[in-house]
Homo-oligomer: A and B are copies of this chain.
Amino acid sequence: MVCNMPDEIIEMRGHLIDSMTLTRVMNKIIARGGSYEFLQFDVGLKDTDTSYLKLQVTADTTTLLDEILDDIHSEGAIEVSPKTVMIKPAPKDMTLPMDFYSTTNNETRVFYDDHWITAQRQMMDKCIVVQDKTAVCTAIRDVRKGDGIVCGENGVRVVVPHRPRKTSDTFTFMNSGSSSERPTLNIARRVAQDIYNTKKSHGRVILVGGPAIVHTGGSPSVAGMIRNGYINGILAGNALAVHDIESSIYGTSLGMRIKDATPASKGHRNHMDTVNEVFTYGSIYDMVDAGRLNKGIFYECVKHDTPFVLAGSIRDDGPLPDVVTDVVEAQKEYKKMLDGATLVLMISTMLHSIAVGNMLPSTVKIIAVDINQSTVTKLIDRGTWQAMGIVTDVGAFLPLVVQELENQESTV
């Protein structure tokens, strides 16, 4: 190694080893062809202590060094002397400076005006707009000409999440990944405990759901959870609403009678009749008011003031008058609903779950349930300890969760 190769000294603090942060940092440096030398490493002596690391990173060229620093920056590595963040004005509406800082889903701080400011509404793949000593994660379509946009990585610090210590919830007992080969009844028990505890501690549970909830016969379970105050909001698409209402007013799903799973008379047209009925009444709310809709997920939402947002998609039948057909508008409504969420249940919908995943900071717990292994893997693969996947049949799993919720209640 030649003496005059470019180098930089970075420092990191936190549970560096058990969060695997240090492992990833070292691997990233090596993978890009750089090298490192430990200058100082104060390992947390006990398991509750944090560690401190000072590391010298060296590379063949400044370009390469920049690449490495950029890469490990997202793991929380920062240059030793904080530099003031660079702010550039947006050149026009919905357009960013070329070197804008693109966010992760981890808590992010910018060093501005000699203070560290934490960005609000942390989301992935957004820019940060700084204004009046506040910093806000902002989607590109919401950027207006002249907005102050954070650029480059100087003065930006990412705080990586660490592994939760207590072992009382779902997220610590299933220590990694997802699999269909788990004891289902016990997993249902854990999920019920998580939901129960979240409600008890005045947390906010948001359910993201797809129509398979209805097809597999899971509607009454979700409706019951809403009625008992476990769900604080529903994010879905047109299909969940159409099929839930169809099952409520006609007792069918995909034209099959739910009570005995036989084909219903004229069942194939029931979902279109449902769409037409909602248009006839004006909206889902009007349909409940008129007494035409008197059970099911959306009935309970209306009755218990549980808000819902239905996002439109290209494959919608109708879509219902309640659907937000403009997807940019729907994204905004989704984000509002997710404000303050502490637990998000993703049930059988890849489209809406991925959308929601992109809107959540890494600190919000996610439980993703689907019968398809690869869907679950995709949803929970977000570099956080807080996402857990369950590969199961929703129609059999949800009743088990509800039963466990009742057990929780009765043991109090």
Known contacts A17-B22, A30-B18, A184-B393; A46/B35 CB under 8 A: yes
| Cβ–Cβ contact A41 & B38, under 8 A | no
* Nearest CB in chain B: distance from A282 CB, A: 9
Q: What bracket does the count of chain A residues touching chain B fall in?
A: 35 or more
- Which B residues are in CB contact (< 8 Å) with A84? none
- Which B residues are in CB contact (< 8 Å) with A373? 373-374, 377
Known contacts A98-B276, A140-B318, A319-B328; A351/B313 CB under 8 A: yes
Residue of B nearest to A397 (CB): B396
| Cβ–Cβ contact B312 & A173, under 8 A | no
Q: Does A407 contact B (CB under 8 A)?
A: no
Q: Does A45 contact B (CB under 8 A)?
A: yes
Partner of A260 from B43, B173, B266, B327 at Cβ < 8 Å: B173
Partner of A102 from B70, B182, B272, B377 at Cβ < 8 Å: B272
Known contacts A315-B355, A400-B396; A27/B91 CB under 8 A: no
Q: Does A120 contact B (CB under 8 A)?
A: no
Q: Identify which of A187, A272, A275, A280 gathers the most chain B CB atoms within 10 Å of its CB.
A: A272
Interface string of A307-344 (1 = CB under 8 A from B): 00001111111110100011111110010000000000
Q: Does A294 contact B (CB under 8 A)?
A: no
- Which B residues are in CB contact (< 8 Å) with A74? 268
| Cβ–Cβ contact B190 & A261, under 8 A | yes
Residue of B nearest to A100 (CB): B276
Interface residues of A (CB under 8 A from B): 17-20, 22-23, 26-27, 29-33, 35-38, 41, 43-47, 63-64, 66-67, 70-71, 74, 91, 94-96, 98, 100, 102, 125, 140-141, 163, 165, 167, 172-175, 180-188, 190, 212, 215-217, 237, 253-254, 256, 258-263, 265-266, 268-269, 271-273, 275-276, 279-280, 311-319, 321, 325-331, 334, 351-352, 354-355, 358, 371-374, 377, 391-393, 395-397, 399-400
